[in-house]
Chain A
Amino acid sequence: MAAVDLAVLLKTGLLCLIAGSIVPFLAAKSQKAANWAAHGCAFMGGLCGILAAAWVLLTAEVIELPLWEIVSGIEFRLKVDYLSAFFLLVISLITTAAAIYSIGYVSKYNSKKNIAYLGGLMNIFVLSMVAVVTVDSTFAFLIAWETMSLVSFLLVMFEHEKSQVRSAGYIYLVMTHIATAFILISFLLMFTYSNSFDFAVLKKQLPFLPEAIKSVLFLMCLIGFGAKAGIMPLHIWLPRAHPVAPSNISALMSAVMIKTAVYGLLRVTFDFLGGGPAWWGGILLALGLISAVWGILLAITENDIKRFLAFSSTENMGIILAGVGASIIFQANDQPLLAALSLTAALFHVLSHALFKGILFMGAGSVLFAAHTKDINELGGLIHRMPWTAGLFLVGGMSLAALPPFSGFVSEWSMLQSMLHLAFDLDNIWLKIAGVTAAALLALAGAFAAGGVVKHFGTAFLAMPRTKAAEEAIEVPITMRLGIGLLVIPTILFGLWPGVVLKLINNITNRYLSEEITGMMVLSIPFAGTSETLSMAVIFAAVAALLILVLIVMRLKFGKSNVVIDETWNCGTNLSSDMAYTGTSYSNPLVVIFNRLIRFDRQVEIQSKYDYYPKRISHRFTSSANIENVLYKPVIAMLVHLSQYIKNIQNGNLQNYLAYMVGALVLALICTR
């Protein structure tokens, strides 16, 4: 009975999304109608998705939904197992919030751009992501994957009249197709060995392949999915494409779309290949940690909020992959319980990151909506004019910085535990040292993230407004605040009560590692002899009790504290907004300390009559990863060089092309004779 209901629920959700993809175009005449139709449908679709996914995870049922037989044998069928359901839940959750947020946000394009186009494409985009995590064959997966890539490309190009957007979109298109190419090769290889596109057959046959072939498959998928996930050094599209897309779309792309890469990687490694040797895990761990530290280091130097968030996505995807890597290492070393812990940490971080990155990208969108800029050096003092946005952004930022009591802290804690247990419980010397180093690097990344959040929140929301636009900003419409608020609730809930999430992840770790990490109020690691436990609820209660106590004691013992409001003391001169620390100056110490890893250009122009009395100083500061220059420049140069030869073949001459066609036809006839 329940199974039927679930299939209906999922179907309803899909129908809502399909309706949302079509109706807005029919209602395109009226901006308002298109807006409500598109985002209303997306909201309903998300809601159905949440219910269906949560039901699957809690009751361990599997939904199967045959949709369309493309050719006999190749069927477009949805199958929601635990892994799919978890990612479906993440997608649906963010979609629901983003849909509400978008109702307010797209009004910024009123009578300037086609809202029906944006809203309709957003629905197709969500639909394709749902398809990616639920389809049941590699063939359908590739179709869904490619749709997702193309639709997101169209969405990135929404403000295509700006040249910056066009170049970002172009780089995104190239990188995403490199990803698709590698995944395609890997899936075709799988087909040659198993003679099937079907996930179920692949699961049965692939684990018995020789080690070398499995490793090739794994590496292909790692490059393909790694490029989509924005792992260094394939991250270059992320900080370009995410900032230029409309903010509701960047929230979806960063919070959800890049997670589909994690889904793909987990599906291939754990499901198809049945885990692997420790060195796979080692590669994932190393790549993940490099991405985490370097990504966040580059993030800090950025002054554009959305670029900061995009680089931080690289960091967080790195952390997730490091967790997956640790899980593979533990599995290869016969420690299923710790493997389950690491996988739990990785999946928990998938959820945490989706939540806080959703909050932050939408928060950055609100700032952009109200003050028309995302450069923090032109903002300031927004907390007074946009108190709601500031508060919501702060919660997201604290979760990003892995500070208690939010969900980001719990996932960071479990991740650190996984890394430390690499050192505590394995016998291999190298793995021990790797575990300790990994934990230290994670701590480093966490501290950097905190610095980045303080920089961006502090510069944009605190002190005095630096420009007129920031001064005139007003609080954003209620729908936008509501959309962000919808994600703040689970961020707090999962932080204080991580047992809920563990319950959702249980079935997945149980399925792949036959161990589960449980705990309702308390997150605990049941490990031989020792048991590290963490109860955020108790810690929060202790802090709250202490806070009340301190307030009462201060009041009773020393009376009411009188506060005089006055101008900030500025050594006797008048304080002006340009005296406050800017974003650039805030991150300068880190740039100086890590100048080997970051390349920065500083241009100072001084206009003056006399040397010591400048009239006007203009200062430009740009930073970039050295890796982009070292790695990409030669590759691009080589490609350009090779293209010269292709020019000889593709020369625009019609007769030549006709000759090619005849040649190809003759060749085909000979081959198939």
Chain B
Amino acid sequence: MFEQMLWGVLQVILLIMLAPLVQGFVKKVKARLQNRVGPGIFQPYYDIIKYLKKDAVVSNHASWLTTSTPYLTFTVIIAAGLFVPTIWNEAPLGVVGDIIVIIYLFALARFFTALSALDAGSSFGGMGSSRDMALSAIAEPALFLAVVAVLLEGGTTKLGQVITQVAEGHLNFLDPAYGLAFLAMLIVVITETGRIPVDNPDTHLELTMIHEGMLLEYSGRYLGLMVWASYIKQLLILTLFIDLFFPWGIATTPTLTGMFYAAGAYLLKLLSLGTVLAFIETAYAKVRLFQVPKLLASSMALSLLAIIVRVVR
């Protein structure tokens, strides 16, 4: 019990501290790929600290939803993080929840973010909110299918057990089902982290924005929390991807040396995945809003193929 709680606290600190670094790293790699110098990889930390110190401006039409949503979103995303195994295959709260809880906690955070975007009465917020709810409605089953394609082998929705199986080599990339699920999941990861070709995290242009549109009315500490929460969510999605497809090196027993090596492997995997994302961002242009559902539909088709290949065999 005590160990579990200590582990929970450690994981929370790990997620909070690591998330901005991943963002900074991806930005830096992307800048270098585009022949720019780019901001330093610690820039997201400076930004968040700056936001947290500043005063906030809140619309006079806004209600309590606007002021409570940043705190709620931030904590709910961290709580979702307690169900995702990072360097030990047992997540701190893995006993009381599973992958479904993670997905629905993300949905809860999104729900409040989308509501608060409507609160100030500006049309930009509504635009972002409406687009995000529409796309996430399709992204959610896509994520579900991609995850289930992997879970099917283990026959459980508990991540810990599935990861152990994958790590022990029951699944490998030569298996067509696994490869298809991998591609499907990659598309979902890009959608859920709001990156090109689905969403552009660097722009506030109303023609293209989705997630950024919902944050337009936020400032000061509220903005800081929302931005930080979105970095943590990005980290969690990437971690989920790593857990399901490259869990090698993850600690299966809680020894200190094992954890240490696992942490190193985890960081390495995160950074390489970040590099891949930066490559995709550089190589592709953002697609039109109404092309995104087709992209997600292809992800679902891949997942279904993966599932069919698995069950027919």
Q: Is the CB of B141 within 8 A of A447?
A: yes
Contact mask for chain A residues 538-568; partner B; CB cutoff 8 A; 1 contact, 0 none: 1100110011001100100111011111111
Residues facing B in A105-158 (CB within 8 A) are none
Pick the residue among B58, B111, B126, B220 that contacts A403 (CB under 8 A). Answer: B111
Q: How many angstroms between the C-alpha atoms of A454 and B63 in the bound complex?
A: 15
Give the residues in chain A near B53, CB-CB below 8 Å. 558-559
Interface SS, A side: helix
Q: Is the CB of B134 within 8 A of A580?
A: no
Would you give the shortest CB distance from B291 to chain A, in whole angstroms? 11
Would you give the shortest CB distance from B170 to chain A, in whole angstroms? 15
| Known A-B contacts A403-B108, A447-B137; A561 and B56 likewise in contact (beta carbons under 8 Å) | yes
Q: Is the CB of A409 within 8 A of B97?
A: no
Q: How many angstroms between the C-alpha atoms of A579 and B206 in the bound complex?
A: 15
Q: Is the CB of B93 within 8 A of A564?
A: no
Q: Is the CB of A580 within 8 A of B126?
A: yes
Q: Is A656 an interface residue (CB 8 A)?
A: no
Residues facing B in A584-598 (CB within 8 A) are 585-590, 592-593
Q: Is the CB of B118 within 8 A of A463?
A: yes
Q: Is the CB of A381 within 8 A of B61?
A: yes
Residues facing A in B217-231 (CB within 8 A) are 217, 220-222, 225
* Nearest A residue (CB) for B116: A462
Q: Is A11 an interface residue (CB 8 A)?
A: no
Q: Number of contacting residues on A, CB 8 A? A: 84
Q: Number of contacting residues on B, CB 8 A? A: 82
Q: How many angstroms between the C-alpha atoms of A539 and B67 in the bound complex?
A: 23
| Known A-B contacts A440-B145, A542-B82, A546-B79; A404 and B104 likewise in contact (beta carbons under 8 Å) | yes
Q: How many angstroms between the C-alpha atoms of A285 and B150 in the bound complex?
A: 24
Q: Is the CB of A398 within 8 A of B111?
A: yes
| Known A-B contacts A546-B78, A546-B79, A590-B137; A433 and B118 likewise in contact (beta carbons under 8 Å) | no
Binding site for A on B (CB under 8 A): 8, 12, 52-53, 55-61, 63, 65, 67, 71-72, 74-76, 78-79, 82, 93, 95-98, 100-101, 103-105, 107-108, 110-111, 114-115, 118-123, 125-127, 129-131, 133-138, 140-141, 144-145, 148, 151-152, 155-158, 161, 217, 220-222, 225, 289-290, 293, 300, 304, 307-308, 311-312
Seed contacts A433-B311, A567-B59; 18 additional CB < 8 Å A-B pairs: A401-B111, A403-B111, A424-B151, A425-B155, A432-B152, A436-B307, A437-B304, A458-B126, A462-B115, A463-B120, A530-B156, A534-B97, A534-B101, A550-B74, A561-B55, A568-B122, A575-B122, A589-B130
Ranked nearest first, the 4 interchain pairs of A and B with the lowest CB-CB distance are A581-B126, A463-B121, A458-B118, A589-B134
Binding site for B on A (CB under 8 A): 380-381, 383-384, 390, 398, 401-404, 409, 412-413, 416-417, 420, 423-425, 429, 432-433, 436-437, 439-441, 443-444, 446-448, 450-451, 453-455, 457-459, 462-464, 522, 530, 532-535, 538-539, 542-543, 546-547, 550-551, 554, 557-559, 561-570, 575, 577, 579-581, 585-590, 592-593
Instruction: List 26 A-B pairs, Cβ < 8 Å.
Output: A381-B121, A401-B111, A420-B157, A436-B145, A436-B304, A440-B141, A440-B148, A446-B104, A447-B107, A450-B107, A458-B115, A462-B115, A463-B121, A532-B156, A542-B93, A558-B53, A559-B53, A561-B56, A564-B56, A564-B57, A567-B60, A570-B122, A580-B118, A586-B126, A589-B131, A589-B135
